[in-house]
A and B are shown apart, each in its own frame.
Chain A
Amino acid sequence: MREGPPKVEAEVIDVIKVRRVAREAQQRKSVRSDRVATIAVWSIAATGIGVLTFIVGVILWRGLATALTPGFIFGQPQAFKAGGGIWPMVVSSFYLAFLTLLIVLPVGVGAGIYMGEYSKQGWAARSIRFGADSLSTVPSLVFGIVGLSLLAVYLRLSYCLLAGAIVLALLNLPTIMRTTEESLKAVPQTYREASMGLGASKWYTIRKVVMPTAVPGITTGAVLTLGRVIGESAAVVYLVGMYVSRVPLSPLSPGAPMAANIYHLYNEAALLPDAARVASGESAFLLLVVLALMLLARLVSWFFKRKTRVADRFA
């Protein structure tokens, strides 16, 4: 009988020991799995950056030498023989982007002001938000073919920069609207209260107090949109055109944005002996333009941020 309790105690001690051993093993296991997972996640991120570096590197390596030749950027394109340039395409891209911004900025900023300053939670706001969400989910190709059947067939605006600009404006409307709305939301409510407390009307307050504070955000959004428009191809190939030999002057003349021209070169590789060289050079130049615009967007927001920080110090 006496030997009972110690035995039980020993068992208890054993259980405690076993539990401790098990817990330590568990801990070792979790530490090990933590280490494995850390290595895995780091290598995934490294893969991502590796893919990016590879892509940018290969595009530039294959095309930079061509792209940075003045005779290539400012040269006349050739349809059937080697040695052509891309000047009309460069002009088309920037012309198209400029026209698009001309249309989308007033509409998008106005829409953003409405959503940020005026709209109440109701059916109108809900449907506008739904419309914007839908527009940003619909594939750009669908914009392109709707533009083709609407503008080209019904309005006889076939193959011109304006048709492309209208469609691209619609494509980028949600982005501009959202950036505007978000920039407006970031403006402190006290600014509005102070202005309206001094007797200013709502529109006056928005124009003179709210908008100036929101301009950096909107500018950044506009520059990013510029980059997106210049890179867009599926929506414009059949609206603006893919190849022109002369620089487009009027918004109603056909153009050939660089992105669309690369697709043209892919299709017509048999006709042009150095199609691959031109397409690689154009890709590299297009990439440089887009990267420069992204950098510009960052610089714009950085510049304004510094300016407001200085202003805050004096306030």
Chain B
Amino acid sequence: MLRSKTAVKPDGPAKVIDREWIVKKVLFVLAMMTVLGILLIVLMVTKESIPALTKAGPFNLFSSRWDPSTGHYGMLIFLVGTLLTTIGGLILGVPLAIGTAIFVTQMAPPRAAGFVSRGIEVLAGIPSIVIGWLGFTVLVPVLVKLTSSTGNGILAASIILAIMIMPTITAIASDALESVPVEYKQGSFGLGATRWQTIWHVMLPAARPGLIVAVILGMGRAIGETMAVALVIGPATAWPKSLWTPTHTLTTKILMEIQESTGTTRSALFTMALVLLLFSMMMIMLVRAFTKKKEYARGAA
């Protein structure tokens, strides 16, 4: 309205306001690139997976038999592989990450806290392919000796994933612990609680939504991690008979087959990507649910 009113006048101010309007619209378009990008990704993945969904059908796609030459496109093995490696990574990584977050925010002398959190940042920056290569050349040979197997499999992938998700979880958990009002801590100490009682009974429960968000985001990283897992998971299209037999996850299967495959096989791989996308969306919903609750609790307090 302002624009139309001033645009009538042929002098200076009209031009200035017009430019303001253009700038705002241009910036808006740039910001909408995020929406456009995610829509593009969802649309492309959906479109590419339609042939598999119509030709093979959901029962075939979620069966446990992957054998494209006979028309079997089951992804159950890979789905289970993804879930097992993720759970393994969380079991190993979460205590390490939350413990480190407690150390950094509650216990460490300032210099040690700075040292540890900087170290964790460095760990987050190491490229996943480098960690994978390390797993392939160092971790797997150790597991070969310990288990007298090929060393590849769920356990190796879980250890690698634990290392990779630890920085994410530590960073967010530290933020959550730090955002607990200092009065909670003072109150607890004032009542005579020890430091650990304060952490266990006051700080951790107060930071719980943030801690859950941290674990969810770590889980998201574990589900989507590709390269580091690809080098230590096997690969083999078979059920993992033990923690150290070669198998596959969704991401590694897509990575290794997408280029050579065509037609329905390729489309089936895109269906797996669609499953990964659904996981991502689920994570976002969960994170939003928890952060909203946290804001509400703070608003009420």
B226 engages A141 (CB within 8 Å): yes
Contact of B226 with A234 in the complex, beta carbons under 8 Å: yes
Contact A119 B128 (CB under 8 A): no
Interface check A271, CB cutoff 8 A: no
Q: Looking across the interface, which residue of chain A has its beta carbon closest to that of B127? A: A231
How many of B's residues come within 8 Å of A, CB to CB?
88
By beta carbon, the residue of chain B nearest A118 is B24
A62 beta carbon closer than 8 Å to chain B: yes
Q: Does A308 contact B (CB under 8 A)?
A: no
Residues of B within 8 A of A260 (CB): 129
B197 touches A30 (CB 8 A): yes
Taking the complex as formed, is B6 at the interface, i.e. its CB lies under 8 A from any CB of chain A? no
Whether A266 contacts B136 in the complex (CB less than 8 A), given A110-B26, A110-B31, A294-B125, comes out as yes
Does B223 belong to the interface (CB within 8 Å)?
A: yes
Report if B119 contacts A (CB, 8 A).
yes
Per-residue CB proximity of B42-65 to A under 8 Å, as 1/0?
A: 001100100000000000000000
What interface size band does chain A fall in? 35 or more
Question: Taking the complex as formed, is B95 at the interface, i.e. its CB lies under 8 A from any CB of chain A?
Answer: yes
Given contacts A45-B116, A139-B276, contact A202 B20 (CB under 8 A): yes
Chain B residue nearest to A109 in the complex (CB)? B30
Known contacts A30-B197, A238-B258; A146/B40 CB under 8 A: yes
Q: Are A231 and B130 in contact (CB under 8 A)?
A: yes
A53 CB contacts on chain B under 8 angstroms: 119
Asked if B292 CB lies within 8 Å of chain A CBs, one says no
Least Cβ–Cβ distance between A91 and chain B, in angstroms: 18
Contact with A along B154-165 (1 / 0, CB 8 A): 000000000100
- A59 to B195 alpha-carbon distance, docked (Å): 38
> Does residue B99 face the partner (Cβ distance < 8 Å to A)?
yes
| Min distance, Cβ A111 to any Cβ of chain B, angstroms | 4
> In the complex, what residues of B have CB within 8 A of residue A30's CB?
193-194, 196-197
Q: Which of A5-13, A208-216, A279-287 contacts B (4 or more CB under 8 A)?
A: A279-287
B281 in the interface (beta carbon within 8 A): yes
Q: Are B119 and A52 touching (Cβ within 8 A)? A: yes
Judge whether A113 is part of the interface by a CB distance below 8 angstroms: yes
Check A187 for interface membership: any CB of B closer than 8 A.
Answer: no
Q: B251 touching A114 by the CB < 8 A rule?
A: no
Q: Is the CB of B126 within 8 A of A55?
A: yes
Interface string of A28-46 (1 = CB under 8 A from B): 0011011001101110110
Question: In the complex the two chains form, what is the Cα distance from A236 to B229 in whole Å?
Answer: 16
Within 8 A of A (CB), among B2-55: 16, 19-20, 23-24, 26-28, 30-41, 44-45, 48
Q: In the complex, what's the smallest C-beta–C-beta distance from A104 to chain B, in angstroms?
A: 10
B224 and A138 within 8 A (CB) = yes
Closest to B166 in A: A48
**A127 interface residue (CB < 8 Å to B):** yes
Q: Are B136 and A234 neighbours in the complex by a CB distance under 8 Å?
A: no
Given A31-B194, A234-B226, CB of A135 within 8 Å of CB of B255: no
- Is A96 in contact with chain B by the CB < 8 A criterion? no
The reply on B1 being an interface residue by CB < 8 A is no
Nearest CB in chain B: distance from A289 CB, A: 9
- The complex places the Cα of A48 from the Cα of B98 at a distance, in Å, of 11
Which B residues are CB-close (under 8 A) to A238? 258-259
| Residue of A42, A62, A107, A141 touching B30 (CB-CB under 8 A) | A107
Q: Of residues 186 to 204 in A, which have CB atoms within 8 Å of B's CB atoms?
A: 201-203
Q: Which of B31, B44, B133, B284 contacts A279 (CB 8 A)?
A: B133
When distances are taken between beta carbons in the complex, the residues of chain B under 8 Å from A177 are: 31, 34
In the bound assembly, the distance between CA atoms of A138 and B39 in angstroms comes to 12
Instruction: Tell me if A287 and B126 are in contact (CB < 8 A).
Output: yes
Query: Taking each of B108, B195, B227, which has the highest tally of chain A beta carbons within 10 Å of its own beta carbon?
Result: B227
Please determine whether A128 and B45 come into contact, CB atoms closer than 8 angstroms.
Answer: no
Q: In the complex, what distance in Å separates the CA atom of A124 from the CA atom of B225? A: 31
- Asked if A266 meets B19 with Cβ closer than 8 Å, knowing A30-B197, A34-B196, the reply is no
A25 within 8 A of B: no
Which of chain B's residues have a CB closer than 8 A to the CB of A174? 34
Q: Hey, what's the 0/1 contact readout for A237-267 against B, CB within 8 Å counting as 1?
A: 1100000000000000000000110110010
Contact between B131 and A55, CB atoms less than 8 A apart: yes
Judge whether B107 and A141 touch: CB under 8 Å. Answer: no
Q: Which residue of A lies closest to B287 (CB)?
A: A133
**Inter-chain contact A266/B231, CB cutoff 8 Å:** yes
Query: Which residues of A line the B interface, CB within 8 A?
Result: 30-31, 33-34, 37-38, 40-42, 44-45, 47-49, 51-53, 55-56, 58-59, 62, 106-107, 110-111, 113-115, 118-119, 124, 127-128, 130-135, 137-143, 145-146, 148-150, 170, 173-174, 177, 201-203, 227-228, 230-234, 237-238, 259-260, 262-263, 266, 276, 279-280, 283, 286-287, 290-291, 294
In the complex, 11 of the A-B residue pairs with CB atoms within 8 angstroms, ordered by the A residue number, are: A30-B194, A41-B99, A45-B108, A48-B123, A48-B170, A127-B35, A130-B38, A135-B38, A137-B280, A233-B129, A262-B129
- Which B residues have a C-beta under 8 Å from some C-beta of A? 16, 19-20, 23-24, 26-28, 30-41, 44-45, 48, 95-96, 99-100, 102-104, 106-108, 115-116, 119-123, 125-134, 136-138, 163, 166, 170, 193-197, 199-200, 217, 220, 223-227, 230-231, 251, 254-255, 258-259, 269-270, 273, 276-277, 280-281, 283-284, 287-288
Closest 9 pairs between A and B when the two form their complex, measured CB to CB: A139-B224, A231-B127, A44-B99, A131-B34, A110-B30, A114-B27, A45-B103, A131-B35, A111-B31
- Starting from the known contacts A41-B99, A287-B127, 20 additional A-B residue pairs (CB-CB under 8 Å) come to A30-B193, A34-B194, A37-B196, A38-B196, A44-B95, A45-B116, A49-B115, A131-B38, A131-B39, A133-B284, A137-B281, A141-B276, A202-B20, A260-B129, A263-B129, A263-B231, A266-B136, A283-B134, A287-B126, A290-B127
